[in-house]
Chain A
Amino acid sequence: MSVTEQDVKYIESIVEEKLKRLLSERKKRMAIIASKGTLDMAYPPLILATTAAAMDIECAIFFTFYGLDIINKNKNKNLQVPSLANPAMPVPMPNIIGALPGMTAMATMMMKSWMAKVNVPSITDLLNIAVESGVKLIGCQMTMDVMGTKKEDLMDGIEVAGAAAFMEYASGADITLFV
């Protein structure tokens, strides 16, 4: 029995349909690296990750270097806005003034009050939503060793892993972001 051209076309159409179905069923994936430990830089990864989860996009955030503070329960309620070298401050502040003691606390207080006015959720709220909605939060093992951070210092529900583990996850991602 020989295979006709018609047979080949038939098989191809079945394979194509199956592939299409598999691709549409596959969840999209986002991988984010959070590397900064200031209040303003803690927001973007958490806002995007929680939104991704709400949009049925699988998501993981890898917290590395100063970004580890975002999931450090002793520190993440006191993340600060830098008053130095930030020309985009809504209230313009010359660096020489921004360098004075207490200015970082003031800049932070101002930012927090503006955010409260328009009901922006707190970092703690966003972290809780992230955990509840299945966002994978990964602490960087190497950073923990460098900074002397212990697993007990981190929030509950955190995974600890290294670069290779994150890369393995990110290699299957549709969206990757470095913050």
Chain B
Amino acid sequence: MEKKGNKPDGVLDCRKLSCPVPVLKTKHAISKLEIGGILEVICTDPGSVKDIPAWAKQTGQELLEIVHENNHYNFFIKRVK
């Protein structure tokens, strides 16, 4: 996927963590950002590809982009509420 160049306001490293920890930490981390801020979440758990988008959809946050490289996934999520 082409990089859109989203600049994160915070980075959450969830590498080597398994379900459900990345989602739990993402929830916690996004609440620390201001509304409009962008959080980058780095995961190695293959399940996160479905889990993070499902979390964003359910909680009403905006998933801007997923970048997959070097065996990890980078999710860029904008806090909208």
Contacts and interface: CB of A to CB of B under 8 A. Distances in A.
Interface of A: 47, 50-51, 53-57, 118-121, 129, 133
Interface stretch (B5-13, B21-29, B63-71): B21-29
23 contacts: A47-B19, A50-B20, A50-B24, A51-B20, A51-B23, A51-B24, A54-B20, A54-B23, A54-B24, A54-B26, A54-B27, A55-B27, A55-B54, A55-B55, A55-B58, A56-B58, A56-B59, A57-B58, A119-B17, A119-B21, A120-B18, A121-B21, A133-B24
Contact of A129 (B24, B54, B55): B24
Nearest to B56: A55
Interface of B: 16-21, 23-24, 26-27, 54-55, 58-59
Contacts of B58: 55-57
B21 A54 contact: no
A120 B16 CA distance: 10
Q: Is the interface of A mostly helix, strand, loop or mixed?
A: loop
B19 A119 contact: no
Nearest to A132: B28
Given A51-B20, A55-B58, 18 more contacts: A50-B20, A51-B24, A54-B23, A54-B24, A54-B55, A54-B59, A55-B27, A55-B54, A56-B58, A56-B59, A57-B58, A119-B16, A119-B18, A119-B21, A120-B18, A121-B21, A129-B24, A133-B24
